[in-house]
Chains A and B, each alone.
Chain A
Amino acid sequence: MRSTENQSDTAIGAPKIREYDVEAVNRKETRPPLYVPRKKIHPRRTQGFFRTFKWWVMAVTLGIYYVTPWLRWDRGPGAPDQAVLVDVPGRRFYFFFIEIWPQEFYYIAGLLIMAGLGLFLVTSVVGRAWCGYACPQTVWTDLFIWVERLVEGDRGARIRLDKAPMSAGKLMKRLTKYVIWLIIAMGTGGAWVFYFADAPTLLTDLFTGQAATVAYATVGVLTFTTFTLGGFMREQVCTYMCPWPRIQAAMMDEESLTVTYRTDRGEPRKPFEKNADWDKRGDCIDCKACVVVCPMGIDIRDGQQLECITCALCIDACDDVMSKIGRPRGLIDYDSIANDERRREGKETKLRLFRPRTLFYFALWALIGLGMVYVLLTRSDLDINVIHDRNPLYTTLSDGSLRNGYTFKILNKAREQRTLTLHASGLPGIKLKVVGSEDMGDSPDPYFTVKPDRLQSFRLLVTVPPGTLKSDAADLRFVLKEINTGQTASYNSLFRGPGQ
């Protein structure tokens, strides 16, 4: 292991404690102006609870992302059997047992609002947990750094390789790294398009050149962004491009947990000394293990800062050092500003998860969630839409009767053909006529046959006898009824005339 470290890193004091020669790249005092090239960050490998947790989160999130399009769900003949599918040409969104029509996009809007509120809730409780664990930028960057370490070695080796002049060996390592990155990046873009078409078919099509241009373009764009954002831009995306770090402070308060360096315990920091009197000095031995593992290039001991994504790797690094020098763990830990205050005042620290902010976010989140569940459970698979003709608004017939034209749409969301009758009420003597099915004549209740999983449009003429319309408009109510089941759908419209 020693050989992989930077030569100037020195073993100090107690065995296996290493002091790192490292400066936090993104430190307030030394932060470079915007117009100098970025200083590359080489985070060192860590081990510990949070690192393990992050590996698991990576496995689960990437697993969901890559596997989901391949799950099958039987919807019967004529319907796609992909569990999650955004069928753009067919204008359908399939999610396991749910099938959403474009008219029902509010479900998606609701989900997005829930995701937003969920993010607020999580942030107010445990700070930027999204950024540190679940954000795609973090997950893919983590994965890319893992590949980098696999090919080029850990921090020290990577720094040396960066400095070394170009050689066959260096070229080989670089190429290997880029190729693996590229494969991952293409896999990322590739998996994305599977959500929009039948995955097994599309996979074959992609490799045989049969897939749609837009599929290749999407794969290309996502490959490019994954490769550059995960491989090269990394922490700059979070610091400069992402809006979330800028607004997350509004969701946090003094009780929010966040990755914190306990100044009261750590200071004054001093290099490790054997048989030290710990009462007279801080626990921080200034080994910079927390700085060297940071993927954001910051020093957590400077306090809360914009760049910190709270990945908690510094907690792992510091805990490791603390156990080695025989001091309690948790010098860097999830903690709140309020606890810091309480300690200073000699009070007991506590965890206040339930407070107005979190309760409010949760209530709002749950309310929308319940509303969505309610709407989903009571969702009708029969819908009706009536549009009154705009021109002409009405027609006077030779006997003085008045007639209005309507475009009439029936949404049959069921997977079977249905027979329906239409009834209109609101004026005496109403006669209905469906254009194109004149064989029915002027039946008071015309019937329709609507094909499965289809929106069908009809033109409807409504006639009332002379003198029935007393003003220039009257309410007209259409009720559509399925003959077999008695299920109904209704629509309130208007009947117009010239007025008196």
Chain B
Amino acid sequence: MSDHRHVDEFTGIETTGHEWDGIRELDNPLPRWWQWVFWACVVWSVGYWIVYPAWPLVSSHTKGVIGYSSRAEVAQEIKTATAGMADQLERVRKAPLEQIRTEASLREFSLAGGRSAFNVNCSQCHGSGAQGFKGFPNLNDDEWIWGGTIDAIFRTITHGIRNTEDENAHQSDMPAFGRDGILTKAEISDVAEYVLSLSGQAADSAAAARGKPLFTDNCTACHGDTGGGNAEFGAPALNNDIWLYGGDKQTLVETITNSRRGVMPAWGRHLDEATVKQLAIYVHSLGGGK
């Protein structure tokens, strides 16, 4: 860098006075079109400050003379979109679920709406593909703890499971056989072996034979004679390949010892009826619906 004036010998134009490794920059004037655009932008920006929200203040900001707000715009757009769907939503609200499922236009509309509502409200626990996690059922498969007909699904979503906010929520209470001292550790182990054998997994046959009468005494009331489950009580089937918490020995022992008490909110209290109906249609369509 240097302060003294320097004129380029080839062009006769003064340089900026800077030098980088022997390279100097000619101090040419800015192109006129560029200057015009620059000043036009300056003028434009002043107009913009006046018309639109621009400057931050201590606890607020300048509002602009036309009162524009991007939040208000979004709210307006949502309102317009909702108003546009009002007719269809009304039809969904009035139609029985079976009709929604079979009538193509209602079904397409409900599947789209249900998918969107699912992503917002349900995917946190059940996963974005409704694939479920440990303790949160997979909604794609064909086992339904509380019933897989479209009406049963609708009821489950509306009232939820074991929550305190809705008196009609599904309630069931598997005893904590170990913690409450109903069965001993050895007995629990035998029952677990028997459950393994029910689902066709490798099991210690002697232990399973010991566990069978224990199972009959303590479990068949809800889970059925052969472990087929009962949706009335929210008792899952124990004789198939689907496990909510896990079907291995260790997990089974843990389940029998401490019981399981999954909870689901009563969505009927948080969402409107049409949305819950759409959710039921969507969940039913995932592949496991009866």
Interface residues of A (CB under 8 A from B): 33-35, 389-392, 395-400, 403, 405, 433, 435-436, 459, 461
Contact = CB atoms under 8 A, between A and B. Distances in A.
Given A391-B127, A398-B241, 5 more contacts: A392-B138, A397-B141, A397-B142, A398-B142, A436-B285
A333 to B, nearest CB: 37
A391 B139 CA distance: 12
A34 B242 CA distance: 78
B285 A35 contact: no
B285 A392 contact: no
B287 A461 contact: yes
A399 B143 CA distance: 10
B242 A403 contact: no
Contact of B241 (A33, A35, A400): A400
A398 B107 CA distance: 27
A395 B289 CA distance: 13
A391 B128 contact: yes
A451 to B, nearest CB: 12
Interface of B: 11, 28-29, 31, 104, 107, 111, 127-131, 138, 140-143, 237, 240-242, 285, 287-288
A313 B3 CA distance: 53
Contacts of B107: 436
A35 B287 CA distance: 72
A389 B127 CA distance: 14
B128 A398 contact: no
B29 A35 contact: yes
A398 B140 contact: no
7 contacts: A396-B242, A397-B241, A400-B240, A403-B141, A403-B287, A405-B287, A435-B287
B282 to A, nearest CB: 10
Given A391-B127, A436-B107, A399 B140 contact: no
A405 B138 CA distance: 14
B144 to A, nearest CB: 10
B35 to A, nearest CB: 12
B142 to A, nearest CB: 5
Nearest to A400: B241
Given A392-B138, A396-B242, A399-B240, A35 B28 contact: yes
Contact of B140 (A34, A390, A405, A433): A405
A104 B215 CA distance: 64
6 nearest A-B pairs in the assembled complex, by CB-CB distance: A391-B129, A392-B131, A398-B240, A395-B140, A400-B241, A392-B129
Contacts of A398: 141-143, 237, 240-242
Given A396-B241, A397-B141, A398-B141, A435 B129 contact: no
A492 B109 CA distance: 30
A224 to B, nearest CB: 14
Contacts of A436: 104, 107, 111, 285
B131 A391 contact: yes
Nearest to A37: B32
A400 B200 CA distance: 11
